[in-house]
């Protein structure tokens, strides 16, 4: 399993320079990847700054050598898929292939998407998501891994993930623990994606990424270790930890402490 940080793309007091510094520090601290939220207008704070994650990642790419970079996730209904594919492919070349593109329907709390909707309000959002995902995958032509974000309890998510090659799940129920998955829940999701791949006639030998976590570290070291171990036993390939916007020193400390890694298999 690999270990990644999820960083905000804005927030009160957050600067683009700080986000770059966090990315550079992440490689030094032993993280395998850094993934940015992708909001058009950041959702938390009184008057939050909002930065373009693709520009920030381009700078980080030039200052790191082995760090995977990406978004978790970009709201596909609020973006032009052609422009998004161009951005991802550009970053792929700048980083020597260290890019993952996470996509989903988008957060309804993104005020920017509401100000400039790019979807047809008279049609199903899911159908439009499928159309845009197909176009995006065709434009990328397998050159950039794509992860699909969404509820693990929604049948469309494993189906979309099977086409794309990865999934960033959350849970709609049990919302106080929306990002923590039991071993059985992860295993069921892995099986659902595999079944969807088989049904669509995709090769079973191709590995599908399952990236779980995505919240701040639990207060207890034992509880955090148990959560990581549960995800690993279920077949997760990535463990993600969110760094919430805050004072510079606090965010840097969260990055520098490094990941909690899964216990060795016995």
In a domain, 43, yes or no: yes
Total domains in the chain come to 1
pLDDT at residue 203, rounded to an integer: 76
pLDDT at residue 172, rounded to an integer: 67
Q: Report the distance separating Cα 160 and Cα 199, nearest Å.
A: 12
In a domain, 19, yes or no: yes
Alpha helices by DSSP H, listed for 64-124, are 81-94, 111-115
In a domain, 264, yes or no: no
**Most confidently modeled range among 41-45, 106-110, 199-203, 210-214:** 210-214
Distances (CA, A) of 131 to 76, 98, 177, 206: 10, 26, 32, 23
In a domain, 266, yes or no: no
Which residues are 69's β-sheet partners?
Answer: 34, 99
Q: Using one digit for the tens of pLDDT, what is the confidence trace for 149-164?
A: 998 878 899 999 999 9
Query: Which tokens hold the place of 263?
Result: 């216990």
In a domain, 263, yes or no: no
In a domain, 191, yes or no: yes
Q: Using one digit for the tens of pLDDT, what is the confidence trace for 223-266?
A: 999 999 999 999 999 999 999 999 999 999 999 999 999 998 64
In a domain, 116, yes or no: yes
In a domain, 83, yes or no: yes
CATH number, domain at 97? 3.20.20.30
Answer for the pair 196, 161: CB distance below 8 angstroms, yes or no: yes
Expressed as residue numbers, the domain containing 247 is 2-256
> Which pTM does this prediction carry?
0.94
pLDDT of 176 higher than 60: no
């Amino acid at each position: 399993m690999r270990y990644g940080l999820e960083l905000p793309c804005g927030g009160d007091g957050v600067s683009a320079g700080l986000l770059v510094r966090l990315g550079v520090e992440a490689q030094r601290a032993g993280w395998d990847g850094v993934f940015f939220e992708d909001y058009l207008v950041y959702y938390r704070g009184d008057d939050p700054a909002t930065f373009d994650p693709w520009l920030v990642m381009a700078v980080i790419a030039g200052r790191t050598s082995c760090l995977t970079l990406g978004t978790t996730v970009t709201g596909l209904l609020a973006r032009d898929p052609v422009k998004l594919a161009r951005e991802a492919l550009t970053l792929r070349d700048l980083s020597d292939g260290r890019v993952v593109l996470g996509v989903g329907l988008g957060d309804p709390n993104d005020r920017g998407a509401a100000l400039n909707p790019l979807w047809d309000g008279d049609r199903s959002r899911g159908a439009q998501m499928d159309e845009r995902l197909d176009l995006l995958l065709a434009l990328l032509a397998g050159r950039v891994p794509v992860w699909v974000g969404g509820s693990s309890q929604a049948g469309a998510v494993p189906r979309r993930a099977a086409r794309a090659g990865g999934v960033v799940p959350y849970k709609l129920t049990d919302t106080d623990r929306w990002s923590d998955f039991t071993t059985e829940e992860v295993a069921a999701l892995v099986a659902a994606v595999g079944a969807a791949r088989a049904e669509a006639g995709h090769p079973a030998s191709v590995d599908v990424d399952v990236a779980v976590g995505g919240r701040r570290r639990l207060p207890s070291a034992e509880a955090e270790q148990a959560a990581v171990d549960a995800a690993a036993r279920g077949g997760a390939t990535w463990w993600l930890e969110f760094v919430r916007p805050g004072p510079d020193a606090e965010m840097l400390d969260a990055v520098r402490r490094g990941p909690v890694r899964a216990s060795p298999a016995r």
